[in-house]
Amino acid sequence: MRILLLAQSFNSLTQRIFVELEARGHEVSVELDIHDSVTIEAVALFKPDVVVAPFLKRAIPEAVWRNCLCLIVHPGICGDRGPSALDWAILDQQKTWGVTVLEAIAEMDAGPVWAWAEFQMRPATKSSLYRREVTEAATQALLDALRRYEGGLGPLPNDGPGAVARPGAWRPLCRQSDRAIDWKRDDTRTVLTRIASADGSPGIRDHILGRDVYLHDAHPATGLAGVPGALLATSGPAVARATVDGAVWIGHLRDPAGPYPFKLPATRVLGEMLVGLPEIAGDSDEGYREIVYEERAGVGYLFFSFLNGAMGTDACIRLAAAYEAALRRPTKVVVLAGGSDFWSNGMDLNAIEAAQSPADCSWRNINAIDDLAEAIIRTDSHLTVAALQGNAGAGGVFLARAADAVWLRESVVLSPHYKDMGNLYGSEFWTYLLPRHAGEERAAKIMSARLPMGAAEAVSLGLADARFGWGAADFLAIVRARAEALASAPDWMARLAAKNRSRAADEAAKPLQAYRSEELQRMHANFYGFDPSYHIARSNFVRRVPKSRTPVTIARHRDKRLAVRWRNAS
Ligand code: COA
């Protein structure tokens, strides 16, 4: 079928649906919801069999839904309606929730139901639930709906046999007053639930030391307590604030009135106001822990969870130190297990945007990430594995590829390219790693296509070596079993020797330093050269400036060569 995805942005769910539909042989094109006239034009150009709206905040124009089946993905159970479905589900502490695929009609979220899927809620932020459970359920429900359509079936019946139960109801927009924190009364669980319901966006509005800020990235602060509402300590980027029965770490804040109205470390936003507070080490049990090391059966596991997968200079230096420490242990395999939502999205673009010199900050960041990638590539004492529970983008993909093996959770989506960030050339030894694993021709295609890629395609192209496990727990259980098998395999020594021989041969052919220098020369031009594209693209990205047109890489109906082919075919 020809399927047009209509979305507010090409977000994680839209990317996953794009990847799944393409893998099933559908012709897929994307139009971002910029203006009704643009949507109408896209439909006229592409002539889709179905329009799918995975992530849409406005109504589809009547001229479109009257003439073509439009399926809306709503992150709520059957009957649920309104713009804050998941926010309310978290605040109401629902045990199960769901995703419904409905047909667009004049009334918002009120059309016939084509399919739905349910999932168990997890104590996590809205964006984490969205990236994992909602995305899984939405994909499953949408594929069900499309199967019904292809099979000539209509929507599910409203009454009679097989009728859809509609336990949900209309809920209005969730406002700040619906989830405001009362520090004098709320316990830790309530505070965490309220922040989770609004995280990643819009955050909970709060007042700290006379500043109006939005709270993000909250975790329990075990072992800390004080006068409710008081700030107690700092740890890395986070500040601890007392609740009535304990305390929470708040890792990031957003100050909408400040010069940098996007998420930044809480300690940076509050700055000197925090002088005098005790500092708790980030690697202690009481601290705000971004890096955790575990060891079992000859395998060292490094879990690293940096907000949104953004790896700034300091994060890279700390992770490199933890990696070196892991290599000093008497283990045989090191698994770089990342975080549950993201493995890595490369340099920390928010920190760069807020730096006094974004060019200098970018330069330090790319060098720090390259140091880490180089340490992984040069490891000659252990077999190394990058195990991706969550998505990776740009430099994060190639940082993973620096390991000997890359294992993906089945539903992971990779964005293995840099050019969308203002034509950034990229580093992380991609010019060595990508051709080495994918071959020259595929490497060039991957980089120029600028498309998201599912786990199956990533394995088939050599960007990864294995994929397994749909849920995070299944995935980690299999990772542990496979890593321990690697460590105890009788041929471990032979494998290590083979990898070291292969590295030595590569080094003789072209030293790693040469790849690094060539890449960094291009990056230097991106950061310091006369073309400001990277700085403009980064500013737009971190400030969430909506796109004024859909990139032609995904709006294939606007690609003149493909459009001719489609016209001839129809
Ligand atoms: N630095 C800082 N923040 C980042 C980031 C980075 N490298 N990558 C993603 N984020 C943040 C986003 O700003 C967003 O924050 P928000 O919750 O405050 O809105 C959040 O992570 C989720 O990102 P989003 O873009 O909404 O996720 P997605 O799944 O739609 O897209 C990517 C994933 C990887 C395609 C996209 O995030 C991206 O292009 N990131 C930048 C990659 C990059 O160019 N890195 C630098 C070169 S190494």
Q: Where are the domains of the chain?
A: 2-150, 176-274, 291-527
> 11 in ligand 1 pocket by Cβ < 6 Å?
yes
> 395 in ligand 1 pocket by Cβ < 6 Å?
yes
Question: At CA 440, angle to CA 435 and CA 444, rounded to 5?
Answer: 95
Q: At what angle do helices 358-377 and 533-542 cross, to 10 degrees?
A: 90
The residue whose two tokens read 């195990």 is: 387
Q: Which residues contact 310 (CB under 8 A, 6 or more apart)?
A: 345, 346, 347, 348, 349, 350, 351
**Local confidence band at 205 (pLDDT 50, 70, 90 cut-offs):** very high
- The model's pLDDT over 144-156, given as tens digits with 9 standing for 90+, comes to 999 999 999 999 9
Mean pLDDT computed over every residue of the chain: 96
- The model's pLDDT over 238-290, given as tens digits with 9 standing for 90+, comes to 999 999 999 999 999 999 999 999 999 999 999 999 999 999 999 898 999 99
* One-letter amino acid for residue 380 of the chain: D
Mutation test of ligand 1: which of 308, 366, 427 has the most ligand atoms closer than 8 Å to its C-beta?
Answer: 308
The residue whose two tokens read 């500043």 is: 211
At residue 566, does pLDDT exceed 70? Answer: no
Percentage of residues in the chain with pLDDT exceeding 70? 98
d(CA 278, CA 134): 39
- The model's pLDDT over 338-374, given as tens digits with 9 standing for 90+, comes to 999 999 999 999 999 999 999 999 999 999 999 999 9
d(CA 29, CA 89): 32
> 421 in ligand 1 pocket by Cβ < 6 Å?
yes
Predicted pLDDT of residue 565:
57
**Local confidence band at 568 (pLDDT 50, 70, 90 cut-offs):** low
DSSP 294-356: EEETTEEEEEE--GGG---HHHHHHHHHHHHHHHTSS-SEEEEEE-SSEEE-SS-HHHHHTSS
The pLDDT of 392-411, averaged and rounded, is: 98
| Residue range 176-274, CATH number | 3.10.25.10
d(CA 125, CA 118): 18
d(CA 449, CA 446): 5
Predicted pLDDT of residue 562:
66
3 state DSSP class of 153: coil
Q: Are 240 and 233 in contact (CB under 8 A)?
A: yes
Determine the distance separating the centroid of ligand 1 and the alpha carbon of 345, expressed in angstroms.
6
CA-based radius of gyration for the chain: 24
The pLDDT of 198-222, averaged and rounded, is: 96
Q: Are 156 and 163 in contact (CB under 8 A)?
A: yes
Determine the distance separating the centroid of ligand 1 and the alpha carbon of 324, expressed in angstroms.
27
Half-sphere exposure (CA, 13 Å, Cβ side) for 366?
25
How many residues would you count in the chain? 570
| Superfamily of the domain at 291-527 | 2-enoyl-CoA Hydratase; Chain A, domain 1 (3.90.226.10)
Take residue 268 and report the two structure tokens written for it: 């940076």
d(CA 62, CA 36): 9
Predicted pLDDT of residue 283:
87
**CATH 3.30.420.480 corresponds to the domain 2-150:** no
d(CA 512, CA 376): 12
- Parallel, antiparallel, or unpaired for β 211-220 and 204-208? antiparallel
Determine the distance separating the centroid of ligand 1 and the alpha carbon of 226, expressed in angstroms.
36
pTM of the full structure: 0.96
Predicted pLDDT of residue 559:
87
Predicted pLDDT of residue 569:
54
> 394 in ligand 1 pocket by Cβ < 6 Å?
yes
The pLDDT of 55-59, averaged and rounded, is: 94
